[in-house]
Chains A and B, each alone.
Chain A
Amino acid sequence: MMKRHLIRRLFRFTSRTNRDVRRDIDEEFQFHLDMRIEDLRREGLDEAAARAQALREFGDAARGADACAVHGETIERQRWLTRIVSELRQDSGYGLRLIRRSPGFSAAAIATLAIAIGGNTAIFSIVNALVFRPAPYGAPDGLARIHTGESQTSWLNYQDIASRTRSFRGVAAHRGTMISLATDAEPVRLNGQTVTPNFFDVLGVHAALGRTFLTGDTRTDVVVVSDRVWRTQFSSDPAIVGRTIVLDGRRYEILAVMPRLFRGVAPPGLLRDCWFPIDPAAPGRGLEERNAGQFEIIGRLAPGVTHEQATAELRVIAAQLRAEHPEIPERFAATRAMHVDGIDAFQGVARTLLPVFAFVGLLWILAGLVLAIGCANLAGLLLGRGVARCREIAVRLALGSGRGRLVRQLLTESLVLAMAGGAAGLMLANWLSGLLNVAAARLPFPVEFDLALDPRVLVYTIGLSMATAVVFGLVPARRASRIDLVPALKDETGGRRQRLRSALVIGQIAMCSLLLAWAGLFARSLQRAVAVDPGFDAAGVLVAELDLGDVPDKARMTESLVAELQPRLERMPGVESVGVSSIVPLALTGREAFRITLDDPSADRPWVMGNRLTPGWFRALGIPMRAGRDFRWDDREGAPGVAIVNETLARRLGPGAIGMRLKWPDVEIVGVVADSKYYTIGETIAPALYRPFRQHPGDSPIFHIRTSDLAGTARALRAELRRLAPAVAPDIKPMTAAVAVATMPARVGAIFSGGFGVLAALLAALGIYGLVSFNVAQRQREIGVRKAIGAGTPRIISLIVGDTAVLAGAGLAVGLIVAVAAGQLLRGFIVEVSPADPLTLGGVVALVAASSLAASLGPALRAARIDPLATLRAE
C-alpha cells in the first residue's frame, strides 16, 4: 500500500512543472502578438505587414521567453513554499479546532499517545543516560582508559607506564575503597576513590566549590567530596571548604565539592562519594609488589594522538617492562588504550551489567508493543471517525479539494494529535524515569542516573511522535480520501473499511495477549522465586559488613578484629550462632569463582564458587553438615590448609571426598555441607569450595548472626564496635533484606510487564468497544429489520457479542503463539516457569475473553434496545 509514488505525490505540493511554466509564457506572448496584429490591421495594414511589424516590435521572443522562464521557476518555488506554510497553518488550525470540538475523542487519543510515547521515551532516556550521554569529563574524546591485560594494574607498573609514555599528557591512577566518615551519630560508609594528585587535571574537571588537588600537590590529608555527600552529610554547608573531617580515624581537610552527578571514573549511574590522594609512602598496602593489581589507570592523550597510536606505544612499553621484570604475566602484553565513552565505558563491567542491558532491552520491547497497540487503537478510532466524517470529506472533494491535499490535511490533524500526545508523554516520561533513581536509591551502593532532558531525548520523542502520526494516520487518511462521492453524499457507507478495523482489533488483542502472557510469566516466576528453597534460612539472621577502610596491614587487622568480635557476639543474649563470610549469598554484592586443580593431572579442572568462613557460619545460616567437620578456630595461617565442599562438588570429586587433597588450592577436604544457592535464585547449584577466613582473610568480614532479637542484637553489635573499632562504619541489616536483591529482577519484571500488560488490556478493550459500538451504529437498520421479523433480545446480543468473540479468539491465538515462541527471550529473567506455563496462558485467555465480553456488552445491549419502528421509519 505504501508505494513510493504515493509518498512522492503526497509531498509534491506544486502542481506546475517547468513545462507548464514554459507553456504559459508561450501563451502570453502569443496573446500579445495576436492583439497587436489585430490592432495594426484595424489601422489598415494587411495581414503579412501587420505580423511583421508586431514581431519586430516584440524583439527577441526566444531570449525573452528564456529569461521569463528563469523568473517563472523562482515564482513557482516561492508559491510552493508559501502554500506549504499556509496549508500547514490552515490544517493544524483546523486540527486544533477539531480537538476542541470533540474533546472526548481527543482526550482519549492524547492520553493513549502520552502513555505509549511516554513509556518509550522513559526507556530511551535510561538508555541515553547509560550509553549516549557524554561522560562528565572535559573533552572525553581525549581520554583513554589504560587496560593492562586486566582492569587493575600494580602501583609499580602504573608508575613505569606513566613515566615512559609520550602519548599521554598525564596518566592518573585510582582505586575504589570503602571508607568510614565519623559523624555525631554512627559512622557513615562512603564509596571513596583513592587517586593520584593529577586525577582531576587528567579528567579535565573542576570543582563546584573550592579547588581540587592538582598535579604536583603532595598533601595526603585532603579530600574532595561529592555533591551528594555535601548535601546529605553536610546539609549543603556553603562554608564547607577548609573544614576538617575524620575518615577511618584520620583527619582530612575538605578542599572542594564536585558538581552534581560527577562520578569520578565509574560506569554511568554509579556514583562515588569522595576522592583523596594516594599516600605512596604508607606501608603495608602492597604498593611495592610488581604484580599486585590494585589501580585502574586513565590518561589524557597528548594533542593529536589517537587511541590506536597510544595503544601502539603502550604495547612497546609493556614489552620493555616484561623484559625487565619477567614475573609480569603474559596478558600484560595486551595493554591498550580504550575509549571512556559510550559502550566502551562498560568494558570490564559489561558481563556483570549484561542482565541490566538485556532487561532494559526487554522493557523497550514491551514499551514498543504498547506503542503499537496505541497506534492500532488510534488508527481504529480515526477510521471510525473517517466514516463519520464521510459527508464532510465528500463535500470537500465535490468542491474541488484534491485528494492529496485531503490526505495531507487529515495527516496534519493526526500530527497535531501526536504532538500533543508527545508533549504529554515527555512529561510522563520525565516522571517515570525519575522513578528509576528513586528505586536505585535502595541499592546497596550510590546510584543516580543523569536523566535530565537533553536534545537526544527531545529528538527521539519528536521523531517518535511524527512516526506515530504517520503510522496511525496515513491509512485512515488514504481510506477517507478514496470514498465514492455519490453514495457518501447520499449518506450511505460501505462495509469495506470494517475489515481493516477488524484486523486492527485482532492485532491489538494479539499484542495485548502477548504482553499479558509475559506479565503472567514474570508474576509466576516471582511467585516461584520467593518459594524457591535457597538451601539456607535467611529469616532471623542479621548480616553486618565491617570494613576497616584504607589502613596499613589491613588483612591482619581484620583477622584479629574477627577473632576478637565473634566470641563476644556468641555470648550476647538471644544470639544462637555466629559466623563470618567474605560474601553474602544471593545478595549480588560479590562472587568468587576459580578453577581448582585435582591431584590427578589428567582430570579436568572444575570451576567452583568460593567463600571464606569462620566456624559457625553454616550453623548460623542453617546449612546442614553432611559429613566431616566444620572449620575450627585453629584452622588459621600456619596450620594445614583445609576446605569444605558442597554436595555438588563432593559428587563431582567422587566417593571418599573427605580427606582428599587438592593440588590447587593446597587444601585437604575436611567436610561436606548441603547445597545452597550462591549468586542468583534461578541458578542451578554450582560446585562450591569453602575455605577458612583465618587462612585467607578477606577485605571486609561479613558477620552472619542468628538471633531471636534482630533489633536488640544490632544495637548491641554497634555498642561493641564503638569500643573495639570506633572508626568502622558497619553496614547492618536483616539478611532477608540483603537477599531481597536476588528476587529483584523477577519483582521489577513483574511490576513493569504487569503495568504494561494492564495498559495494553485497557487499550485493547477501548479498541473493541469503539469497533463494536461503531458496528452497532452502522447496522442499526439491519438490527431493526431483524427485530421486526421477530429476533429477541438474546438473539441480538449474541449476534453482536459473537462477532467480538471471533475477533478476540483470532487475536488470542496469534498472541499466545507468539508469546510461547518468543518466550525464549525471557529465559534469563524467569525462574522455574516454562514460557508455555498452562496456568499463565489460561489466565490470559480468561482475562482477554472477559474484557472483550465486557467491552462489547454495552454496545450489544444498546443494539438490543433499538426500536425497529424508529429505524425503519428513518428510511
Chain B
Amino acid sequence: MKPRKAGDTVTLLQGTVDLLILRALQRGPAHGYSISRWVRDSTGGVLAIEDAGLYQALHRLEARGWIDAEWGLSENNRRAKYYRLTAGGRRQLRTEVNAWKQYATAMFKLIEET
C-alpha cells in the first residue's frame, strides 16, 4: 500500500468510512464501485477510500445488520452485489451524523477562536 500524497487526498479518520458508506446508501441501493465513485466525485476527489478497506467496511456493516446485500444486474448487465440500508442502518446513520455535526461544530469553534 502506497501512502497518498499530501494535498491530493485526505487520509480518512478511523470510523468515518462507515459514515460515508451509510450516507452513500441513503441515496438508494448501490454496489461497491458506485459507492467508491460517489465518495470520490462528490468530495471533488478530496476524500478517497482505499477500495479494499471499503469492501471490508461493507461486509462488516452487513454483519452488524446495518446494511443488506443482494446480487443483481449492473448498468452494463453484469452480476453485481448491491447494498441497501436497513432500518437499523438508517438509525445508525442519524446518530453518526449528529455526532459528527457536534464534533465538527466544536472543532470549528476551537479553530475560529484562535
User: Footprint of B on A, CB under 8 Å?
Assistant: 24-25, 27-29, 31-32, 34-36, 39, 56-61, 63-64, 67-68, 71-72, 74-75, 78
- Count residues on chain B whose CB falls below 8 Å from chain A CBs: 26
B74: chain A residues at CB < 8 Å are 31, 35
Interface centre among B36, B48, B52, B53 (most CB of A within 10 A): B52
Within 8 A of A (CB), among B79-94: 79-81
Can you list 7 pairs linking A and B with CB atoms under 8 Å apart?
A: A28-B80, A32-B51, A57-B48, A61-B52, A64-B52, A67-B56, A78-B63
Please state if A29 and B55 are interface contacts (CB–CB under 8 Å): yes
In the assembled complex, B62 has its CB within 8 A of some CB on chain A: yes
Cβ A64 vs Cβ B2 within 8 A: no
Shortest B20–chain A CB gap in Å is 16
CA distance A74 to B61 in the complex (A): 11
Task: List A contacts of B78 (CB < 8 A).
Answer: 31, 34
- A58: chain B residues at CB < 8 Å are 50-52
Q: For residue A27, which residues in chain B have a CB less than 8 angstroms away from its CB?
A: 79, 81
- Establish whether residues A31 and B59, one from each chain, have CB atoms under 8 Å apart when the complex forms: no
A64 CB → nearest B CB, Å: 3
Beta-carbon nearest neighbor of B61 in chain A: A71
Q: In the complex, what residues of A have CB within 8 A of residue B36's CB?
A: 32
| CB-nearest residue of chain B to A61 | B52
Query: B81 near A24 (CB under 8 angstroms)?
Result: yes
Q: Are B52 and A63 in contact (CB under 8 A)?
A: yes
Provided the pairs A31-B31, A31-B80 are in contact, do residues A57 and B55 lie with their beta carbons within 8 angstroms? no
Q: Point out which of A60, A63, A71 has the most chain B C-beta atoms below 10 A from its C-beta.
A: A71
Q: Does any Cβ of A come within 8 Å of B32's Cβ?
A: yes
Contact residues in B for A35 (Cβ distance below 8 Å): 33, 74
Which residue of B56, B63, B79, B80 contacts A64 across the interface (Cβ within 8 Å)?
B56
B107 adjacent to chain A (CB < 8 Å)? no
Which A residues touch B80, using CB under 8 A?
28, 31
Closest to B37 in A: A39
CA distance A57 to B40 in the complex (A): 12
Q: Which residues of A contact B37 (CB under 8 A)?
A: 39
Q: Is B111 at the interface (CB under 8 A from chain A)?
A: no
Evaluate contact between A57 and B31: CB separation under 8 angstroms: no
A34 contacts which chain B residues (CB < 8 A)?
78
Chain A residue contacts of B59, Cβ below 8 A = 25, 67-68, 71-72, 75
With known contacts A67-B59, A68-B55, A78-B63, A59–B32 Cβ distance under 8 A:
no
User: B23-36 interface mask toward A, CB cutoff 8 Å, 1 = contact, 0 = none?
Assistant: 00000000111001
A58→B79 CA distance, assembly (Å): 19
Do A57 and B63 form a contact, CB below 8 Å, given A31-B78, A36-B33, A67-B56?
A: no
Cβ distance B54 to chain A, nearest Cβ, rounded Å? 9
Evaluate whether A71 and B52 lie within 8 angstroms (CB atoms) in the complex, with A27-B79, A31-B80 already known: no
CB distance from B49 to the nearest CB of A (A): 9
Q: Does B60 contact A (CB under 8 A)?
A: yes
The reply to whether A31 and B55 form a contact with Cβ atoms under 8 Å apart is no
Whether B56 contacts A68 by the Cβ 8 Å rule is yes
- The CA of A67 and the CA of B80, in the complex, are separated in Å by 19
Give Cα distance in the complex from A74 to B50, angstroms: 23
The docked-state distance in angstroms from the alpha carbon of A401 to that of B2 is 50
Residue of A nearest to B80 (CB): A31
Q: Is B110 on the interface with A (CB-CB < 8 A)?
A: no
Candidates B32, B33, B62, B79; contact of A71 at CB < 8 Å:
B62
Q: How far is the CA of A386 from the CA of B78 in the complex (A)?
A: 43
Q: Which of the residues A28, A74, A75, A78 comes within 8 Å of B55, measured between beta carbons?
A: A28
Q: Which residue of A lies closest to B68 (CB)?
A: A75
Asked if B51 contacts A57 (CB within 8 A), the reply is: yes
Contact B62 A75 (CB under 8 A): yes
Inter-chain CA distance A35–B81, complex, in Å, is 13
Nearest Cβ on chain B to A321's Cβ, whole angstroms: 74
Measured in the bound complex, the distance between the Cα atoms of B36 and A346 in whole Å is: 78
Cβ contact within 8 Å between B56 and A32: no
Q: Is B106 an interface residue (CB 8 A)?
A: no
A71 touches B50 (CB 8 A): no
* Chain B residues closer than 8 Å to A28, beta-carbon distance: 31-32, 55, 80-81
| Contact of B33 with A59 in the complex, beta carbons under 8 Å | no
| Chain A residues in 8 Å Cβ range of B52 | 58-61, 63-64
Interchain CA distance A57-B37 in the complex, whole Å = 12
A218–B99 Cα distance when bound, in Å, is 79
Does B1 sit within 8 A of A, measured CB to CB?
Answer: yes
A contact residues around B33 at 8 Å (CB): 31-32, 35-36
Cα(A28)–Cα(B2), bound, Å: 23
Shortest C-beta distance, A228 to chain B (Å), equals: 60
Contacts of A75 in B (CB 8 A): 59, 62-63
Find chain B residues with CB under 8 A from A25 CB.
Answer: 55, 59
A804 CB, nearest partner CB in chain B, Å: 57
Closest-CB distance, A539 to chain B (whole angstroms)? 84
Knowing that A24-B81, A29-B55, A59-B52 touch, tell me 11 more A-B residue pairs with CB under 8 angstroms.
Answer: A24-B71, A25-B55, A31-B79, A31-B80, A31-B81, A32-B51, A34-B78, A36-B33, A36-B51, A39-B37, A57-B50
Residue of A nearest to B36 (CB): A32
The answer to whether A71 touches B63, judged by C-beta atoms less than 8 angstroms apart, is yes
> Chain A residues with Cβ under 8 A from B53's Cβ?
59, 64
Query: In angstroms, how far is the closest chain B Cβ from the Cβ of A505?
Result: 50
A36 to B49, CA, bound (A): 14
